[in-house]
């Protein structure tokens, strides 16, 4: 068969795969989109925020939805397309025409690679862009609609402080009560008749309190307390301690290059700490040798000094062992490594899914698209479960971050190889 004929075959197989993948993508996109919409509805829509701003917040949330939808769409799309060919006996017709399964696999593999690149782009560029703009807009809305964060008659916990308030309206926050600690460690109770938000300081939510009373108890002098008044007081809350919707740029929201640079910094810091530990160990060992040499000379001069010298040497040995066994690690480095490998493993799932889906879908005998869609959903849940389990294992232990994020892909590849072997030798 000539090249032109193969192009027709590639076009036919590729178009079926694209249609099935787009259908699956719309399904997953709608599921994730509705979930995001429900979250926004609870936090934002119910607070009478302008519709245009809500639409912009939803727009900034779309890159994350797209990044996760693409791999699963490629899986379900391949299962549906190849399942349709198998159930309608088109695979047999292709074989009878001298067209090998490899020829049918090539256009799907090529398109899967394109989906992987698009998914990586959404995850690596548009996701940080969306997060930054989401945070900027949410911060702007927070000052014009303080009820986003401070609901009327609510209690909020911000790290080391607790804030309660009465009625919240467009003009002020009424009846404010704050429980926290001052810099000296004294427990403090702050009450205010009313207050409002000031956005003049970047990265900070500043409450301007009016009619303030402050009671401080304890601190350096435990039994001492002070009671003071003020007409006005500024109280700062860091944005990172505000609502969960106030997402910062963590490793998940950063580009792979930025995460890589941060990893290099953390590795450098960790190596410096390890070097410092080694220097301390060498110093302690040198000190032990000095104590040992001096002790031998003193014992020879005064045998009664043996017990004291022995205790000093044992104490030094214990200190050396404690320093040697003290782990020097950076848990945040583990998190950054996990997210770095995750940025590549999820988009690459488009390709690994196809290695699994193509031979598996060939077993379909009837209702190819329906069976493929159902099987795709089950495999997607299974894959997502492995991904979550791997991430949890990597975060809670020192398990390899690379394997934590790539084992699900390797499992898909292994299952695909098993499907090929079963079909060949059954």
Residue-wise pLDDT for 71-123, tens only, equals 899 999 999 988 888 888 888 888 888 888 888 899 999 999 998 988 888 88
> What pLDDT does residue 244 have?
44
Per-residue model confidence (pLDDT) at position 246? 47
- Output the six-digit token pair for 7: 């192009």
Q: Let me know: does 194 contact 211? Beta carbons within 8 Å.
A: yes
pLDDT of res. 403: 93
Contact, 354 vs 109, CB < 8 A?
A: yes
> Number of C-alpha atoms within 13 angstroms, CB side, residue 203?
2
Most distant CA atoms of the chain, gap in Å: 102
The string of pLDDT tens digits covering residues 173-215 is 888 888 888 767 778 888 888 887 776 665 566 778 888 888 8
Chain centroid offset of residue 85 CA: 39
Average pLDDT across the chain, whole number: 82
Q: With a cut of 70, which residues of the chain have pLDDT below it?
A: 1-5, 39-48, 142-151, 158-159, 170, 183, 199-205, 219-223, 237-249, 367, 425-426
> What's residue 309's pLDDT?
78
Contact 195, 207 (CB under 8 A): yes
Dihedral (CA of 406, 408, 410, 416) sign: negative
pTM: 0.72
Alpha carbon dihedral 41, 44, 48, 53, in 10-degree steps, equals -110
Phi, psi (5° rounding) for residue 212?
A: -100, 140
pLDDT value at residue 159: 65
Q: What is the pLDDT of residue 411?
A: 94
Q: What is the pLDDT of residue 67?
A: 79
């Amino acid at each position: 068969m000539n090249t032109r004929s193969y192009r027709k075959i590639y076009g036919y197989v590729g178009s079926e795969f694209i249609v099935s993948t787009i259908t699956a993508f719309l399904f997953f996109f709608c599921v994730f989109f509705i979930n995001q919409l429900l979250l926004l509805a609870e936090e934002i829509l119910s607070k009478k925020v302008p519709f245009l701003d809500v639409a912009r917040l939803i727009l900034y949330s779309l890159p994350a939805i797209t990044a996760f939808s693409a791999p699963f769409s490629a899986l379900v799309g391949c299962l549906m397309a190849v399942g349709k060919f198998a159930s309608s006996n088109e695979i047999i017709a292709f074989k009878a025409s001298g067209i090998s399964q490899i020829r049918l696999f090539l256009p799907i593999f090529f398109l899967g690679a394109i989906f992987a690149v698009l998914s990586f782009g959404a995850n690596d560029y548009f996701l940080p862009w969306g997060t930054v703009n989401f945070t900027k807009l949410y911060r702007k809305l927070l000052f014009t609609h303080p009820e986003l964060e401070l609901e009327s008659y609510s209690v909020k916990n911000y790290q080391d402080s607790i804030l309660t308030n009465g009625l919240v309206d467009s003009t002020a926050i009424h009846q404010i009560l704050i429980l926290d600690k001052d810099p000296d460690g004294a427990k403090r109770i702050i009450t205010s008749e009313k207050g409002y938000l000031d956005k003049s300081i970047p990265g900070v939510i500043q409450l301007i309190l009016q009619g303030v009373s402050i009671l401080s108890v304890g601190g350096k002098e435990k039994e001492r307390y002070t009671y003071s008044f003020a007409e006005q007081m500024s109280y700062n809350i860091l944005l990172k301690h505000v609502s969960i919707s106030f997402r910062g740029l963590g490793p998940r929201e950063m580009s792979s290059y930025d995460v890589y640079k941060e990893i290099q910094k953390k590795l450098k810091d960790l190596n410096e700490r390890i070097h410092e530990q080694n220097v301390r160990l060498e110093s302690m060992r040198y000190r032990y040798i000095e104590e040992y040499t001096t002790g031998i000379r003193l014992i020879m001069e005064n045998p009664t000094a043996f017990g004291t010298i022995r205790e000093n040497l044992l104490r030094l040995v214990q200190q050396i062992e404690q320093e040697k066994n003290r782990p020097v690690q950076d848990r945040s480095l583990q998190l950054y490594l996990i997210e770095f490998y995750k940025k590549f493993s999820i988009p690459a799932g488009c390709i690994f899914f196809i290695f699994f889906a193509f031979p598996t879908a060939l077993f379909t005998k009837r209702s190819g698209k329906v069976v493929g869609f159902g099987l795709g959903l089950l495999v997607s849940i299974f894959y997502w479960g492995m991904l979550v389990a791997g991430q949890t294992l990597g975060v809670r232990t020192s398990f390899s971050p690379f394997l934590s994020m790539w084992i699900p892909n390797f499992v898909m590849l292994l299952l695909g190889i098993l499907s090929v072997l079963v079909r060949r030798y059954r």
